Each structure stands twice: as structure tokens, then as C-alpha cells.
Amino acid sequence: MFIPGNLRRVIIFIILTALVYGCGVFKVTQYYEKGALATGTPPATEIGRNIFAQGGNAFDVAVAVGFVMAVVYPEAGNVGGGGFAVIREGNSGLIKALDFREVAPSAATEKIYLDSAGEVIENLSTYGARAVGVPGTVAGLYELWQKRGRLAWEELVRAAADLADTGFIVDAYLAGKLYENKDQLSGFPETSDIFCPRGEPLKAGERLVLKDLASTLYIVAAEGPAGFYEGLIADKIDSCMKIHGGLITKEDLAAYKPVWREPLHFRFDSLDIYSMPPPSSGGIALGQILKIVEPHDFSFLTVDSPDYIHLFCEAARRAFADRSQYLGDPAFYQIPSRLLDEAYLDKRRETITMGHASNSQLVGPGLPYSHESNQTTHFSVCDREGNMVALTYTLNTNFGSKLVVRGAGFLLNNQMDDFALKPGYPNTYGLVGAEANKVEPGKRMLSSMAPTLVLKNQKPFLILGSRGGSKIITTVAQVILNMTRFGLNPVEAVNQPRVHHQWLPDKITLEKNGYSMKVKQTLIRYGHNIEEEAPDGDVELIYIDPLGLMNAASDPRRQGCSGGY
Ligand code: DON
């Protein structure tokens, strides 16, 4: 059989990658004693394993992986973006949430994405300098290291810097992403010089050397966050903003601070679940979905039955309706305190009828007020000391704003699109919002990221999270239900096809080829609009058994890789 040269190269590359790393397309189930991790890409998992081997703990591994992903996974891994982590300290059992989300520049107002007629200007919040929020990743990873890192900061960052300096071979997945985004990436010479040299995106099997990014990382290794938010790199970001019409100033950079928050905690069955509080909607929406389905008798439901899909999507519909109305940065908007109250969720659940779809226009957000007053790339890491890290960070869409800071070699985020640019105007993920999430200077844009820890009998049980925009929330909820209510093992729980509902648009999204014709026909009979979409999400899951042995599973939908030591 004749196979063209390019295709042959890709096939050989995939097979070699799979053999070398023992994961990717061939997932391996193995239990680890000292530490485990699940990340979006094999090189990051490999470096994480090395850090464990050098005596590092889960915090050290998370920091090193965070920087390595910025090199080998440039569509989402970053130093020019931001994210969230939920962590547990093994010695004290203390659980905390770290917010290193981007913030709106001090010159940002409600009007910056609107034309003189008040209409949203297309692409301004997703492409180029105006789309960029003040990055949080470097400060966030430093904070994580300071919390309980054991190895030297410099060594952890150096692993990524050395990789950027010597370069690495582009895999088929990255080559595909570069090809898909080539037109926008070519729009900026500083980006195109790196990812599309010779005017064409790099192909699988070619070497990508990132000298400018390496210099940036060596500075961060030597100086910590001060080397990024002040001095040479801050100057470069500043001139990038001036050339391309962005709003971030040197003062905005110098003022950036990550925030430690109390994690969002709720009980589900007999489990304690800890996830991300606002400014992510991840924890609250996850909690609402799980608490709404909790009293339901699952003994007659199977994971792919129309009745389960219906119940799950009706719960998600209600959670996303509340998200649109009530969630935003808590420093700017008072979030109702009763969104996870049993009594409020009982009322929301009562409006669900089995066998009959609700209508999103009629459902709307609830009234979470007491009658007395009016109202992703994710990675998971753990070690045998009980330290747990669930970390999701992002540039927002693939390669973020597509804008590289000249001379500093990193891509900037387009996280500003996560604000509600105008009430009811859908963002990239079709999510709508209002007052709670309008653009304001210094404000953090609402997120769906849901890095999550689950404890059983007060002991580590699960660490998980995903990419996927709005689908992150429903993805994490389904994987938890797959393991706890349907008895699937970690690999099965991650592999199982997934559904999604986000209130508006009023439809159930079913993973393509995941559900039978009979299931689809039944859902239509119940009154649902259904649509099939290509598989999305990238769950990175760790399961810790009652003896403390660790098992990790990576999503087969992407090129994730789990491992351990
Ligand atoms: O914070 C959020 O919710 C989005 N910016 C996440 C983006 C994402 O998951 C992209 N991956 N598909």
C-alpha cells in the first residue's frame, strides 16, 4: 500500500511516541507507591517522574510540569496565561485553593469591546493584544512552590528552560493544532517566526527550538516572579502592548497578585469534594449538578441510558442558568450565598420532570435568596505523603491571543473573552452572562475551570480536572458519577462517552459515535434538542486506593499521559 511521505512520517512518529512513553494511544494501568501524575502530554509526565525520582514532592512536580507544558504544549501550557489549583498539604491535611487567574488591565471598561453603536466588535476579545488579561501563571506557580516545594525553584524551572533551549520534536497533535490555527498565527510576525517559519506551520517530526522562551525561563529560574513582572520581560510585554494596541501597562504587571482562597467544599454521597470557588464557576456549578442528581435512585439507570442523560442535562441546565446570572469575581460582585443550599437545590430539582425536557427560556436562573431577605490544560499530581495538586491553567482558546511577546518568546492569553462583553452576548463557548461578569478594571473574568480533589473518609480518593471551556464542569461531574454511582474503574470512567448541557443554547451535546440511535431517539421524544460533537475535554485523573496506592488515567481523546514512581 502506498503511504505518502508526510503521512508515513506522522504514523512512525505516533508509534515511536507511544512505544517510548508507554502511554498516549496505549493507556497503561499501573499502581504507584511514591507518586503519580496525569498530564496532557508525555514529555511533561516524563519530567514529572524525574522530579519524583530526585526526591521532589507533588508540589515540585506540579511546578516543573507547569513550566514544561509552556514549552511542549504551547496551545494551552503557558507563562502568558493563568489558572487555578486546589491543593492538599499532606502533613496537616489542609486544603486550599490558589487563584492565579488573569485580571483585566486597569484601563479596561465595559465599553472596550463595543463599537460606537454599542455592538460587540468581532474577534477583539479573542485575537491580538486587546484580548489579553494580565498573566498570572508565573506568580501562581511560584506561590505553589513556596507553599510546600522541597527542591530548589531554579532546578524546577530549569528543566523547562533547557528543553526550550535545545528544542523538541513536534508531535502529530501539536502539528495538527498549528495547522488548524495557521492563518491567525501568521497574523503576527513575532508568532509566525516561531511556529510558522518559512511561512508554513511546523510539521510533525520537525524540531521546535524556543531560544527566546528559554531566555525568559532562565530569568524566571534565577529571579522568580520579579524577573517576569518587572524588568526586562515586563518591558517587552509593555512594548508588545504599545505596538499592538493592548491595554496592559507595567503598573498592571507589577500589581499582579495571586490569591489563596478557601476551597469550595460540599458533600456528595459520603464524599467530601473540594473544588474551585469564584472567580471560577467550576466548583459551584459542579456542586449544583451533583447535589441535584444526588437523591435520585440510580439503581435502574445505566451510564448511557436516556433517563440518566436527561437527568444529568436537566441538572446542568439549571446550574448554567445560575452561572450566567450570579457568578463573577467576588471582589466586584456579591455572589448569593445560598447557591449550594439543600433547600434551594430541592426547589430547583422539583422543576425537573423525568421523560420530559424543560425549556431553557422558562427555566432561567433560580432565586437563591432566603425568604427573609431579597436577592483548560489540567494536570493532577499526588505523592505518598498525601500532598495533592489539581491544577488547571490556560491561555483560553488554542494559542490564546496568538500574539507572542517579541524577544520573550511566549504567547499571551485571550482570557478577556471570558467576561460578558455585553449582557446576553455569547462568548467563545456560547456562555452568556450579565452584570456579575461585566468587564471592570482589575477584575478577574469568570471561569469554568474545576480543578477538584475528592476525599473519602477524610483520605485522598480522587484528583481530577479537564480542559473544554464550559464542558469542563459537566465533564468533571460525569467522571465523578461514573466512578461513584456507576462503579467504573478510572480508565473506564475517563473513557466513557460524555454529554453536555449549558442552559443556553438549549440543547444536549452528545459525544459523536458515543450513543446509540435508540438513546438519541428517546431523548428527542423527551423533547430535547440534540446535537453531536467531536469528543472534547481532556481529563487527567488520579485514583488513590484505600491502601494509598496511586493509579492514574489520562483521557484517550487527547494525547495525555499518566505515570508515576
Ligand atoms: O476559564 C475558562 O473557563 C476558559 N478560559 C477555559 C478554556 C478552556 O478550557 C479551553 N480548552 N478547551
| CA of 472, closest atom in ligand 1 | 9
Q: Which of 84, 449, 502, 536 gets mutated to test ligand 1 (max ligand atoms within 8 A of its CB)?
A: 449
Average pLDDT over residues 144-169: 98
Which one, of 111, 33, 73, lies nearest residue 393 by Cα? Answer: 73
Residues above pLDDT 70, as percent of the chain? 94
- Residue 280's CB is within 10 A of a number of other CB atoms, namely 31
Average pLDDT over residues 290-318: 98
Residue 517 CA, ligand 1 centroid: distance in Å: 31
Average pLDDT over residues 455-461: 97
What was the pLDDT predicted at 10? 47
Describe the strand order of the beta sheet including 35-39 as a list of residue ranges. 259-261, 95-100, 82-88, 388-394, 377-383, 35-39, 561-564
What was the pLDDT predicted at 331? 98
Q: What is the mean pLDDT of the chain?
A: 94
Pocket (CB within 6 angstroms of ligand 1): 376, 394, 396, 415, 418, 447-449, 467-469, 472
What was the pLDDT predicted at 24? 40
What was the pLDDT predicted at 372? 44
Model confidence at 562: pLDDT above 90: yes
CA 413 – CA 539 distance, rounded (Å)? 22
Residue nearest to atom 12 of ligand 1 (CA): 468
pLDDT range class, residue 6, cuts 50, 70, 90: low
| CA of 417, closest atom in ligand 1 | 5
Which one, of 384, 385, 392, 413, lies nearest residue 401 by Cα? Answer: 413
Which positions are catalytic? 376
Residue nearest to atom 10 of ligand 1 (CA): 376
| Grid cell at residue 42 | 508525555
Average pLDDT over residues 13-36: 60
Average pLDDT over residues 454-464: 98
Average pLDDT over residues 454-480: 98
| CA of 282, closest atom in ligand 1 | 3
Model confidence at 21: pLDDT above 70: no
For 227-260, how does the pLDDT look when each residue is reduced to its tens digit (9 = 90+)? 999 999 999 999 999 999 999 999 999 999 999 9
Average pLDDT over residues 476-483: 98
For 334-363, how does the pLDDT look when each residue is reduced to its tens digit (9 = 90+)? 999 999 999 999 999 999 999 999 999 999
pLDDT range class, residue 542, cuts 50, 70, 90: very high
Whether residue 331 contacts residue 276, with contact meaning beta carbons closer than 8 Å, is answered with no
Residues above pLDDT 90, as percent of the chain? 92
Q: Which of 281, 320, 429 gets mutated to test ligand 1 (max ligand atoms within 8 A of its CB)?
A: 429
Which one, of 205, 425, 434, lies nearest residue 328 by Cα? Answer: 434
For cell 507518586, the residue is: 35
Residue 370 CA, ligand 1 centroid: distance in Å: 32
For 407-420, how does the pLDDT look when each residue is reduced to its tens digit (9 = 90+)? 999 999 999 999 99
For the chain, the first-to-last Cα distance in angstroms comes to 42
Residue 445 CA, ligand 1 centroid: distance in Å: 11
CA 331 – CA 316 distance, rounded (Å)? 26
Residue 467 CA, ligand 1 centroid: distance in Å: 6
Average pLDDT over residues 502-527: 98
For 104-117, how does the pLDDT look when each residue is reduced to its tens digit (9 = 90+)? 999 999 999 999 99
Contacts of 556 (CB under 8 A, 6+ apart): 25, 27, 494, 495
Residue 310 CA, ligand 1 centroid: distance in Å: 25
In Å, what is the CA distance from 50 to each residue of 155, 159, 503, 552? Answer: 12, 10, 44, 17
Per-residue burial over 531-558, b if 16 or more Cβ lie within 10 Å, else e, is: eeeebbbbbbbbbbeeeeebbbbbbbbb
Model confidence at 154: pLDDT above 80: yes
CA 97 – CA 88 distance, rounded (Å)? 9
Residue nearest to atom 6 of ligand 1 (CA): 469
The amino acid occupying position 355 is G
| CA of 418, closest atom in ligand 1 | 5
